[in-house]
């Protein structure tokens, strides 16, 4: 279960100009790369007399085999070996996943001519560039292949080519490390997507160091150094959450301090605020309440500057939790009431449920059961507005607990009195509980007054 607020895991993004990087379709299909039986039949009908032995063999072969033969004829032995290895890897993945898996239901790589076209085109171009030691061009062709395979079912291919890009980028010496920086960023995103946060952090740190003092920008106009700071803030927060789950509080705090520094360096106030909030929660988990309050107050101030009412409410709630643990319940209640008012004003119904439940629990623990019932009822009504059935059921339980405790006080008082009137009240309540939720001691007056005497007389 996450201790810190969820941070969305990032994945490598598809290139914005995908159509520009796809291999061009030839105007006339070469006969040894024709796809489909219909095309073969038409060609045979028109050119049957002039077929050579190689041409006839080309029409009998599979499209994959023709691609491979074409690579070998042109001397691209490395491309042939790489394509063959990828097809074998796909088949191994399919066998390992077994029948019924998603990959089992897909066509194999060798049965998808469009993908084979992309591989043939860019692999051969990358190999030609490698022979001439044009490593930058080699990198661009490998990167184009990574962009081609960004669909979920092709991510293993995408990741493979990002790794090839990373290896090639080490050989490029003429761009000041720009390609290497991009490669580290992409590898970090790949590892982050796979949940390997430590490896992702290593690549993001390398990305950061390569971009310090540089004015390189991405396609959106952001500097790469700012992007590196954002990546590191995110991955440090994800790592710290894992550490907190494993009770590694001090290590988590150190990691979150680094996340806070990265957020400040990026100049992103929203990230800085989130980092301060996470630090506050981490210090609270570690039992360092005074420091937690300092960090949460910093988060509160940043939220006010940003006009973030959700953040302000979240700060009040977290401060109340810390104050309760310190025994400063009255101050905690003040913060919770502020949190509740914000939730009502900006219609944060889920936050309203949290605030009312928290307040109800505080009053319940203090023995003020009628006040606890009041807040539990508000939480129940808010949960009904949301239409969240599990939350409705949870608030029902709180309502039941509050009302049971409220009744318990009155039942105990009559039981401890041990007089005739108290026993009559208890017996009447046991016989008729229809009004137990609001006032369990509504007594059937006729049972207590069979002679029809007035209440003043009975007193």
pLDDT in the model for residue 282: 96
For the record, the structure tokens of 42 come out as 């038409």
pLDDT given at position 437: 37
Task: Give the per-residue pLDDT at 42.
Answer: 60
- How many other C-beta atoms lie within 10 A of the C-beta of residue 241? 24
Q: What is the mean pLDDT of each run of 10 residues along the chain (459 residues)?
A: 76 60 46 50 56 54 82 91 90 84 81 90 95 95 93 89 96 93 96 95 97 91 94 96 94 96 94 96 95 96 92 92 91 90 86 90 89 91 90 91 83 75 74 50 45 40
CA distance 250 to 304: 29
Q: What token pair was written down for 409?
A: 């006080």
pLDDT at residue 246, rounded to an integer: 93
Structure tokens at 178: 């720009």
Provide the 10 A C-beta neighbour count for residue 19.
Answer: 6
How remote is the C-alpha of 377 from its chain's centroid? 33
Please, are residues 313 and 321 in contact by the beta-carbon 8 Å criterion? no
Which residues have C-beta within 8 Å of that of residue 339, sequence separation ≥ 6?
A: 313, 316, 317, 320, 351, 355
Give the residue carrying structure tokens 């191994």.
92
310 token code pair: 């959700």
Q: Give the span between the Cα atoms of 242 and 247, in whole angstroms.
A: 9
pLDDT at 152 (0 to 100) = 83
Global pTM value: 0.80
Q: Is the dihedral of CA 237, 243, 249, 252 positive or negative?
A: negative
Residue 28: per-residue pLDDT:
32
């Amino acid at each position: 279960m996450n201790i810190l607020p969820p941070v969305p895991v990032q994945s490598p993004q598809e290139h914005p100009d995908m159509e520009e990087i796809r291999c061009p379709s030839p105007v006339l299909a070469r006969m040894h790369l024709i796809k489909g039986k219909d095309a073969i039949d038409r060609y045979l009908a028109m050119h049957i007399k002039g077929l050579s032995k190689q041409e006839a063999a080309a029409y009998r072969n599979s499209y994959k085999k023709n691609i491979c033969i074409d690579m070998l004829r042109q001397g691209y032995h490395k491309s042939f070996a790489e394509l063959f290895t990828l097809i074998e890897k796909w088949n191994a993945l399919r066998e390992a996943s077994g029948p019924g898996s998603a990959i089992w239901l897909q066509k194999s790589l060798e049965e998808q001519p469009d993908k084979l076209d992309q591989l043939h085109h860019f692999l051969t171009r990358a190999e030609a560039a490698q022979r001439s030691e044009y490593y930058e061009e080699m990198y661009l062709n490998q990167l184009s292949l990574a962009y081609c395979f960004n669909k979920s079912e092709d991510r293993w291919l995408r990741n493979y080519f990002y790794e090839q890009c990373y290896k090639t980028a080490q050989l490029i010496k003429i761009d000041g490390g720009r390609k290497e920086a991009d490669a580290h960023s992409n590898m970090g995103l790949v590892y982050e997507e796979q949940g390997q946060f430590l490896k992702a952090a290593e690549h993001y740190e390398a990305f950061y160091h390569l971009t310090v003092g540089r004015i390189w920008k991405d396609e959106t106009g952001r500097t790469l150094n700012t992007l590196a700071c954002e990546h590191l803030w995110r991955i440090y927060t994800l790592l710290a959450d894992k550490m907190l789950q494993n009770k590694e509080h001090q290590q988590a705090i150190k990691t979150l301090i680094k996340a806070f520094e990265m957020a400040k360096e990026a100049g992103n106030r929203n990230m800085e605020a989130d980092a301060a909030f996470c630090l506050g929660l981490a210090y609270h988990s570690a039992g360092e309440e005074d420091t937690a309050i300092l960090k949460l107050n910093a988060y509160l101030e940043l939220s006010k500057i940003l006009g973030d009412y959700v953040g302000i409410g979240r700060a009040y709630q977290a401060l109340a939790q810390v104050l309760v643990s310190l025994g400063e319940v009255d101050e905690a209640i003040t913060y919770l009431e502020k949190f509740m008012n914000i939730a009502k004003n900006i219609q944060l119904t889920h936050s309203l449920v949290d605030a009312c439940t928290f307040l109800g629990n505080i009053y319940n623990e203090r023995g003020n059961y009628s006040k606890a019932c009041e807040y539990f009822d508000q939480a129940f009504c808010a949960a009904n507005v949301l239409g969240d059935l599990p939350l409705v059921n949870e608030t029902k339980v709180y309502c039941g607990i509050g009302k049971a405790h409220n009744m318990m006080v009155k039942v105990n008082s009559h039981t401890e009195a041990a007089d005739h009137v108290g026993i009559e009240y208890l017996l009447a309540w046991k016989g008729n509980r229809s009004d137990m939720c609001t006032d369990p001691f509504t007594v059937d007056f006729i049972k207590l007054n069979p002679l029809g005497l007035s209440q003043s007389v009975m007193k």
